[in-house]
């Protein structure tokens, strides 16, 4: 199947807009199948800030236009930080669907939806962070598994009764080791 320059340009733009289907895959047949399954949607994500790491200090620098959204966050001890694995964003890495968790070949081959691998179809990351302070548009946290300048997508307060189930929690054997 021939691909036109117009197709390549428009499909590339779709990829940049967080399209769930990559135009750069080995064949267009997969893409056509995915489109038939309803994956022809696009989502626009706008960073609300950036992770800043200097020496041992870790802060979430929220852009000024979103600073008002921090009101009340200082009443919480922890925050869920959703961010984008931007330094991992390649069509090849987005197509990896199974890994050995934690990069350990002794762990069984597992689907990326069943582990916390940084390679996945959409590179959304999630970390629970302890809040040290909230001042103006700066949230100082204890640590985060993100690089300096990583784009932040959203913040959500940790709420114990909602975010921590106490009954019927099940974990696979590889995680119990």
Q: According to the model, what pLDDT value does residue 64 have?
A: 98
Quick one: DSSP state of residue 15? H
CATH 3.50.50.60 fits 49-159, yes or no: no
Question: Three-class SS string for 26-50?
Answer: CCHHHHHHHHHCCCCCCCCCCCCEE
Q: How far is CA 149 from CA 59, 62, 131, in A?
A: 10, 12, 19
Asked if 174 contacts 103 with a C-beta cutoff of 8 angstroms, the reply is no
Which two structure tokens, joined as six digits, stand for 54? 């200097």
Residue 143: name the closest of 37, 52, 66 by CA.
Answer: 52
Residue in 5, 40, 48 with CA at minimum distance from that of residue 19: 40
Tokens 């009764």 map to which residue? Answer: 161
pLDDT computed for residue 158 by the predictor: 96
Confidence (pLDDT) at 72: 97
> 10-residue block means of pLDDT along the chain (177 residues)?
36 35 42 58 90 96 98 97 92 93 91 91 94 97 96 96 82 82
90: β partners: none
Q: Cα 1 vs. chain centroid, distance in angstroms?
A: 33
For the chain, give every domain's residue range: 5-36, 49-159
- The answer to whether the Cα torsion of 101, 155, 42, 17 is positive or negative is negative
């Amino acid at each position: 199947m021939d691909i036109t320059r117009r197709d390549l340009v428009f499909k590339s733009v779709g990829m940049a807009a967080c399209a769930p289907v990559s135009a750069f895959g080995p064949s267009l047949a997969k893409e056509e199948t995915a489109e038939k399954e309803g994956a022809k949607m696009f989502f626009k994500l706008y960073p609300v800030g950036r992770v800043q790491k200097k020496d041992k200090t870790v802060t979430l620098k929220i852009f000024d236009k979103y600073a008002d959204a921090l009101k009340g966050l200082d009443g919480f001890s922890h925050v869920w930080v959703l961010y984008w694995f931007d330094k991992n964003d390649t069509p090849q890495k987005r197509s990896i669907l199974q890994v050995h968790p934690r990069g350990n070949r002794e762990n069984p081959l597992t689907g990326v939806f069943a582990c916390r691998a940084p390679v996945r179809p959409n590179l959304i990351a999630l970390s629970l962070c302890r809040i040290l302070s909230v001042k103006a548009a700066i949230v100082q946290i204890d640590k985060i598994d993100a690089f300096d300048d990583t784009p932040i997508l959203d913040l959500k307060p940790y709420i114990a009764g909602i975010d921590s189930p106490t009954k019927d929690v099940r974990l696979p054997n590889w995680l119990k080791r």
